[in-house]
A and B are shown apart, each in its own frame.
Chain A
Amino acid sequence: MRIIILGALLATIASAFVLYSSNYDTRLLEEQVAKQERAIERARSDIAVLKAERAHLGRPARIEPLARALGLGPASERQLAPSVAAALDRASGSDTGSVPQNRGR
């Protein structure tokens, strides 16, 4: 009987250790999860800002003056040809209308 009682006592102490150890492990893991979640949230927030910045920098109202300053212009229907041969034919001809025109706006 004493052996049983002693065994139970030891089991209780062992369980208590295991329990507390699990508890601390769980807390540690929870902290890590929370940390990872905060990192994910920060990354998502940063991505949102970067996406917004990219869209802001690429907005047509900004690109258009830059493109025009480089001598570019809107695509013209005269830049399109039904075949490579037709395009070459047009390029070798006297048609200068296919060159993008800078409207100077």
Chain B
Amino acid sequence: MQTPQTNDEAAAAVAFDTAMMGRRASGPLRTLIATLAMGLAFVAVGAQLVRLAIRGQGGMSVSINETVAQSFARPDIVDRNGRLLATDVEAYSLFADPQRVIDRDEVIEKLSAVFTDIDRTTLRRDLSDRNRRFVWLRRGLSPRVAQQVHNLGLPGLDFRRELRRAYPAGNIAGHTIGYVNIDNKGVAGIERYVDEVVGVDAVHTATIADRPPVRLSIDVGVQHAVEAELADAIERYKAKGAAALVMDVNTGELLASASLPTVDPARPGTSLDTAFADKISSGTFELGSVFKTLTVAMALDQQLVTPDTVIDVGREMKTGRFTIKDVHSTGRPLSVAEIFLRSSNVGSAKLALQAGPKRQQEFLQHMSLLEGIKTEAGPVPPPQVPKRWGEVETVTVSYGHGIAMAPLQFAGAVATLINGGRKVVPTLVKRNPGADDAQTAPQQQLISPATSAAMRTLMRGNVSGPVGTGKRANVPGYDVGGKTGTAELPGPGGYREKAVISSFIGAFPMEAPQYVVFVLLFEPKGTAETGGEILASRNAAPTMARVVSRIGPLLGILPKQSASADHVPGSSGQGNGSLALRSRLAFDAATVAKYETR
């Protein structure tokens, strides 16, 4: 029998069963939900791990209100044999955080003891600005000075490691190398070329660049020899300055480009003075009689004359209001070869007039002498040419006046005259035959090989012959050839007779020229050694001889033994070797005579 309690109990039992049934029904669902949630969590963790594994933690982004100095990591600059000319080294730069500086006066006092030249007013002003968190105090400190400052124990001062450009070879080729600014950015010369063409890396710390070095065409040994001989010449002839270049006649590579006084790439301020300007490629000069090489080459190449053609140069010549005369007139007609050897102004004027102004201009244009050129160190100033090119201008240009150009540009043209007539583009970066398209491409033929051969003979004759103006440039065994030039410098109201540029453009060995050498002495004085004269034959030509005798062995050029024997008393005569022997000797000379073959 069921009682109401029993009914109640039954109802409760039913309710319990129903609830139990509901729990039983929701149990697997909740488990499923929990499992899914756990699975999702695992997937999320897994995905994050995969993302981190693949992408890393991502770049850190730092936001700094103050300007943090950006510096540049630069590749090394080396010479053609790999000798170091410029490199980055680590240096310490001192900065202050004005907010953290406790006692300004103490900082100023103590820093003044280390840096005696510090500007106290500027320093006080910088440190007073509490809004700033970063003020440069001194950059590029050596470790020793940095340690001294560190030892002062001043709060608010700290160091940053930076790259600093160092030029371990000193002043050598200073003009060519150029310089960098305080942020290690190239400003002039090859340093600028490095920025613009080769590439540099922007860095915030002292991270050395991981780039291959820039290999120049310069040979440090040759450059030093040339600079030393020029310094000697300045002293010897009391000149105000001197310059010289050594160029490969075939490739246009400059093995030396020296201009004295020299500049120190580590002290850019010095190069701003005009007296320190690069005379090889930053200035234009009226070069005088060396220009007759072009006049004679023009007349020969245009087949107006042959070296044996006789021209009447016995008398002075009038053109416009000018009278053209020769310094040492023979008073008789001269052949074209003699005009060159005796450096006759009248003769070269007549040769130029025979061609006429138009053809003279065309020839100079053809030789790329009427427009500016560019090297890796920057643009060379364009030549200054006559505005009106009439008969008078044709005459003056024929012997190198009324036209001014950079010695580098002129030397490039002379290289063309003697290398068989092929165009030469001067370069300061070592050419890489095979890889370099410009090098493998055939060079443009500007004059005929026959004219070039004739010019080689004339230039050699000017040094080896008894009457040539360049005989003091002779070096036994090296077959030097060339042309002298003594150009009066322009001054107020005309030319200054006693202020000249004495120069010698030459090459060696003339049988198969390899190197053009151009030597210039600025405002030399007459000395006992020169017999009181300031002519190039007495100062520039002997300087050329000293330069060639010194660089010849360095460049691995073997002297011709027969010539050596002719000129060296007491030496046993050696005949000219066969071609095979000569090439072997050249190899020996290259390996033995070069003191630096790295």
- Residues 161-185 of B, flagged 1 when their CB comes within 8 A of A and 0 if not, give 0000010111110000000000000
Given contacts A52-B89, A76-B553, A77-B478, contact A12 B168 (CB under 8 A): no
Interface Cβ pair total, 8 Å cutoff: 130
Whole-angstrom distance between the Cβ of B236 and the nearest chain A Cβ: 11
Whole-angstrom distance between the Cβ of A85 and the nearest chain B Cβ: 10
Q: Using CB atoms, name the residue of chain A closest to B558.
A: A80
Q: Which residues of B contact A75 (CB under 8 A)?
A: 553-554, 593, 595
Q: Which residues of B contact A53 (CB under 8 A)?
A: 168
Chain A stretch 50-71: residues in CB contact (< 8 A) with chain B: 51-56, 58-61, 64
Assess the B89–A45 pair: CB atoms within 8 A: yes
Assess the A48–B35 pair: CB atoms within 8 A: no
Confirm or deny: B88 has a beta carbon within 8 angstroms of a beta carbon on chain A.
yes
Chain B stretch 190-219: residues in CB contact (< 8 A) with chain A: 206-208
Given contacts A4-B35, A75-B593, contact A51 B84 (CB under 8 A): yes
Q: In the bound complex, what is the Cα–Cα distance between A12 and B89 (angstroms)?
A: 53
Given contacts A55-B168, A74-B550, contact A60 B89 (CB under 8 A): no
Q: Using CB atoms, name the residue of chain B closest to A30.
A: B57
Given contacts A8-B38, A15-B45, A64-B224, contact A93 B475 (CB under 8 A): no
Q: In the bound complex, what is the Cα–Cα distance between A61 and B226 (angstroms)?
A: 12
Partner among A12, A59, A61 whose Cβ is within 8 Å of the Cβ of B38: A12
Q: Using CB atoms, name the residue of chain B closest to A9.
A: B38
Assess the A48–B90 pair: CB atoms within 8 A: yes
Selecting from B320-328, B403-411, B570-578, the interface stretch reads: B570-578
Q: Which residues of A contact B76 (CB under 8 A)?
A: 51
Assess the A97–B571 pair: CB atoms within 8 A: yes
Given contacts A64-B228, A90-B572, contact A76 B45 (CB under 8 A): no
Confirm or deny: B552 has a beta carbon within 8 angstroms of a beta carbon on chain A.
yes
Whole-angstrom distance between the Cβ of B51 and the nearest chain A Cβ: 14
Q: In the bound complex, what is the Cα–Cα distance between A8 and B232 (angstroms)?
A: 91
Assess the B568–A78 pair: CB atoms within 8 A: yes
Assess the A79–B553 pair: CB atoms within 8 A: yes
Whole-angstrom distance between the Cβ of A84 and the nearest chain B Cβ: 11
- Which among A52, A53, A96 has the greatest number of chain B C-beta atoms within 10 A? A52
Q: In the bound complex, what is the Cα–Cα distance between A45 and B161 (angstroms)?
A: 11
Q: Which residues of B contact A52 (CB under 8 A)?
A: 84, 87, 89, 166, 168
Assess the B570–A19 pair: CB atoms within 8 A: no
What count of chain B residues pass the 8 Å CB interface test?
Answer: 58
Assess the B553–A55 pair: CB atoms within 8 A: no
Confirm or deny: B307 has a beta carbon within 8 angstroms of a beta carbon on chain A.
no
Partner among B168, B169, B570, B585 whose Cβ is within 8 Å of the Cβ of A95: B570
Given contacts A19-B45, A77-B478, contact A60 B172 (CB under 8 A): yes
Q: In the bound complex, what is the Cα–Cα distance between A42 and B574 (angstroms)?
A: 58
Confirm or deny: B220 has a beta carbon within 8 angstroms of a beta carbon on chain A.
yes
Q: In the bound complex, what is the Cα–Cα distance between A15 and B561 (angstroms)?
A: 87
Given contacts A52-B166, A53-B168, A64-B224, contact A45 B478 (CB under 8 A): no
Q: Which residues of A contact B232 (CB under 8 A)?
A: 105
Q: Using CB atoms, name the residue of chain B closest to A94.
A: B570
A contact face: mostly helix, strand, loop, or mixed: helix
What count of chain A residues pass the 8 Å CB interface test?
Answer: 41
Confirm or deny: B542 has a beta carbon within 8 angstroms of a beta carbon on chain A.
no
Q: In the bound complex, what is the Cα–Cα distance between A56 and B208 (angstroms)?
A: 19
Assess the A80–B570 pair: CB atoms within 8 A: no
Assess the A49–B593 pair: CB atoms within 8 A: no
Given contacts A15-B42, A80-B589, contact A45 B208 (CB under 8 A): yes
Assess the B549–A77 pair: CB atoms within 8 A: yes
Chain B stretch 218-269: residues in CB contact (< 8 A) with chain A: 220-221, 224-225, 228, 232
Chain B stretch 540-598: residues in CB contact (< 8 A) with chain A: 549-550, 552-554, 558-559, 561, 564, 568-572, 574, 577, 581, 585, 589, 592-593, 595
Q: Using CB atoms, name the residue of chain A closest to B595.
A: A75
Q: Which residues of B contact A94 (CB under 8 A)?
A: 570
Confirm or deny: A86 has a beta carbon within 8 angstroms of a beta carbon on chain B.
yes
Confirm or deny: B61 has a beta carbon within 8 angstroms of a beta carbon on chain A.
no
Q: Using CB atoms, name the residue of chain B closest to A97.
A: B568
Q: Which residues of A contact B400 (CB under 8 A)?
A: none
Q: Using CB atoms, name the residue of chain B closest to A79.
A: B553
Confirm or deny: B477 has a beta carbon within 8 angstroms of a beta carbon on chain A.
yes
Confirm or deny: A35 has a beta carbon within 8 angstroms of a beta carbon on chain B.
no
Q: Using CB atoms, name the residue of chain A closest to B228.
A: A64
> B-contacting residues of A (Cβ < 8 Å)?
1, 4-5, 8, 12, 15, 19, 41, 44-45, 48-49, 51-56, 58-61, 64, 74-82, 86, 89-90, 93-97, 105
Please name 13 pairs of A and B residues whose Cβ atoms are closer than 8 Å in the assembled complex, sorted by A: A8-B38, A12-B38, A41-B208, A55-B84, A60-B169, A61-B171, A61-B224, A64-B224, A64-B228, A74-B554, A79-B553, A80-B593, A93-B571
> A-contacting residues of B (Cβ < 8 Å)?
27-28, 31, 34-35, 38, 42, 45, 49, 76, 83-85, 87-90, 166, 168-172, 206-208, 220-221, 224-225, 228, 232, 475-478, 549-550, 552-554, 558-559, 561, 564, 568-572, 574, 577, 581, 585, 589, 592-593, 595
Sort A-B residue pairs by CB-CB distance and give the 8 closest, nearest first.
Answer: A60-B224, A75-B553, A77-B559, A55-B168, A55-B84, A56-B168, A95-B570, A52-B168
